[in-house]
């Protein structure tokens, strides 16, 4: 709440942050600490309950973890103690995602890189030291498996019909969000 009742009087709660305050704080922190401008990362107040952070460039994606940490620090969600359900009202959600145009362009670059690796007729398609697409035979059907040493990276399916289908590309983008060497990997794409 923006105002609290103290001693029978309505007073302004100094600790209250609006989504506009949060978006301004995040924008200035990203610019000051990482040199990210509005061209790299868009921070927008969606409504009174949400702030959207949209990554628009390789420079922004290279700082995905840091952006996610800042977003998490400003997010405030109240849960029911017994059921674990989100309580309605008073919550502030901060969402971090890739800009649609940038995601599409990055996906095209990844597909192009995989295609060039396939044209080299190699047994494994190495995107980076620890991101490899491996051909496997699954019951007489050729499939491709994405191999990475990263822990805690969710991928929809590590197997796909082709090495550059949309599932594989999305999985590689998921890895890029968490990889410690994202900046180096992006240089190869």
186 versus 36: the higher-pLDDT residue is 36
Output the CA angle 163-167-170, nearest 5 degrees: 105
> What's the pLDDT score for residue 101?
93
Statement: residue 9 has pLDDT above 80:
no
pLDDT in tens, 115-174: 888 777 667 788 888 888 877 777 777 778 787 776 656 555 566 777 777 878 888 888
> What's the pLDDT score for residue 102?
93
> What's the pLDDT score for residue 4?
62
Statement: residue 182 has pLDDT above 70:
yes
127 versus 31: the higher-pLDDT residue is 31
- Residue 89 buriedness (CB in 10 A; 0-12 / 13-18 / 19+): exposed
> What's the pLDDT score for residue 68?
94
The structural domains of the chain, with segments of one domain joined by +, span 3-98, 102-188
55 versus 89: the higher-pLDDT residue is 55
Statement: residue 36 has pLDDT above 80:
yes
Q: What are phi and psi of 154, to 5 degrees?
A: -80, 130
pLDDT in tens, 61-116: 999 999 999 999 999 888 888 998 888 877 889 999 999 999 999 999 988 888 88
> What's the pLDDT score for residue 153?
60
Q: Which of 22-26, 129-133, 184-188 is the most confident on average?
A: 22-26
> Lowest mean pLDDT: which of 11-15, 66-70, 183-187?
11-15
> What's the pLDDT score for residue 124?
75
Q: What is the 3-state secondary structure (H, E, C) of the chain?
A: CCEEEECCEEEECCCCCCHHHHHHHHHHHHHHHHCCCCCCEEEEEEECCEEEEEECCHHHHCCHHHHHHHHHHHCECCECCCCCCECCCCCEEEEEEECHHHHHHHHHHHHHHHHHHHHCCCCCEEEECCEEEEEEEECCEEEEEEEECCCCCCCCCCEECCCCCHHHHHHHHHHHHHCCCHHHHHHHC
């Amino acid at each position: 709440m923006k105002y609290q009742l103290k001693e029978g009087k309505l007073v302004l709660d100094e600790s209250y942050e609006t989504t506009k305050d949060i978006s301004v704080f995040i924008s200035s922190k990203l610019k000051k600490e990482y040199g990210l401008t509005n061209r790299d990362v868009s921070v927008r107040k969606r409504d009174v309950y949400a702030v959207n952070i949209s990554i628009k460039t390789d420079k922004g994606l290279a700082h995905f973890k840091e952006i996610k940490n800042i977003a998490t620090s400003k997010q405030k969600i109240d849960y029911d103690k017994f059921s674990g359900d989100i309580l309605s009202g008073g919550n502030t959600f901060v969402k971090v995602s890739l800009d649609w145009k940038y995601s599409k362009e990055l996906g095209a670059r990844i597909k192009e890189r995989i295609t060039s690796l396939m044209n080299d007729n190699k047994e494994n398609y190495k995107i980076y030291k620890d991101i490899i697409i491996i051909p496997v035979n699954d019951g007489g059907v050729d499939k491709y498996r994405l191999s990475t040493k990263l822990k805690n990276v969710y991928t929809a399916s590590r197997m796909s019909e082709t090495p550059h289908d949309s599932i594989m590309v999305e999985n590689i983008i998921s890895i890029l969000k968490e990889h410690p060497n994202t900046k180096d990997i992006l240089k190869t794409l």
